Amino acid sequence: MVAEVAQQSSRATTQQVVRRTSRRVARLVANFERDLESARQARERRDPSRDLVRLALECRTDKWGTHRYAQHYQRHLEHLRNEPINLLEIGVGGYADPLKGGASLRMWKKFFPRAQIFGMDLHDKTALEEKRIRIFRGDQSDPNSLRLIAEQIGRLDVIIDDGSHRSPHVLTTFETLFPLLEPHGIYAIEDLQTSYWPEWLGSEDRNAPDTSMGMLKRLVDGLNYEEFVDEDYTPTYTDEHVVAAHFYHNLAILEKGVNAEGTRKKHILRSRYGG
């Protein structure tokens, strides 16, 4: 009897040791995996190919230097870096010279190693094509031209408007292409300073509704369309699909999704809505 009790006690002690050892091993493994992840992230931070500012300088694009866009793009596009996305940039650069331009396209190609990079320009820039870079000739002021190019590309995950910077063209391009952008896609508009310049089809009137900034200001209101008290208001496509708007100097970055978080206005505004 005494031997049996001792044997059971020994088994219980062994099981406790095994459990304690298992927990200790699990903690060691978790700590090891955490340290590995920290080391990987540190390597990535040191990797110049992950730094869009360095890539912009290397590729000699004006997204760093003339402008300060690269660090903002890094923040908003980093999560897509290793995804097989399609990126379209309107405006290749180099004006009418068929052999000049394409610096930004080459930067995007290096930053997104699995992406297909597409460019569009009013002038023929096909001489600048290379592996994973394809360039279309098109007119961003013509919806049919934009739709035809979008059809040839297929899925659109990121759209960057660095084209003519004329407000009518910017509005036409956004109205045509934003509905074709994938859910969770990113839409960027550059060089918004021209919105305030009449010489570039902008306006000195900062409240002008037909400028690039006028459109963007409406989009910000549209983010909160569910809070409008005008019961006859019908939400627009952008009201329901722009979920975030980020503004920087001369640059706007929009996120697409489903904007339907709901509202408590009828609960709060009881006098208006009858209790």
Query: CB-based contacts of 39: which residues, under 8 Å, 6+ apart?
Result: none
Identify any residues that bridge with 254 across adjacent strands, giving them in sequence order.
187, 245
Diameter of the chain measured on Cα atoms: 103
Q: Decide if pLDDT at 6 tops 80.
A: no
Q: Give the integer Cα–Cα distance in Å for 59 and 128.
A: 14
The pTM (predicted TM-score) of the whole model is 0.82
Average pLDDT value over all residues in the chain: 91
Q: Give the integer Cα–Cα distance in Å for 187 and 252.
A: 8
Is the pLDDT higher at 15 or at 152?
152
Tokens 């006690």 label which residue?
A: 9
123 is catalytic: no
Determine the pLDDT at residue 254: 98
Do 24 and 16 touch, CB atoms closer than 8 A? Answer: no
pLDDT band at 187 (very low <50, low <70, confident <90, very high): very high
Q: Decide if pLDDT at 7 tops 80.
A: no
The one catalytic residue among 67, 72, 165, 241:
165
pLDDT band at 41 (very low <50, low <70, confident <90, very high): low
Identify any residues that bridge with 41 across adjacent strands, giving them in sequence order.
none
Determine the pLDDT at residue 74: 97
Within the chain, strands assigned E span 86-90, 116-121, 133-137, 156-161, 181-190, 242-248, 251-256
Pair of tokens at residue 267: 């609960």
Q: Decide if pLDDT at 37 tops 70.
A: no
pLDDT band at 174 (very low <50, low <70, confident <90, very high): very high
3-state secondary structure of 51: coil
Nearest alpha carbon to residue 185 among 151, 159, 157: 157
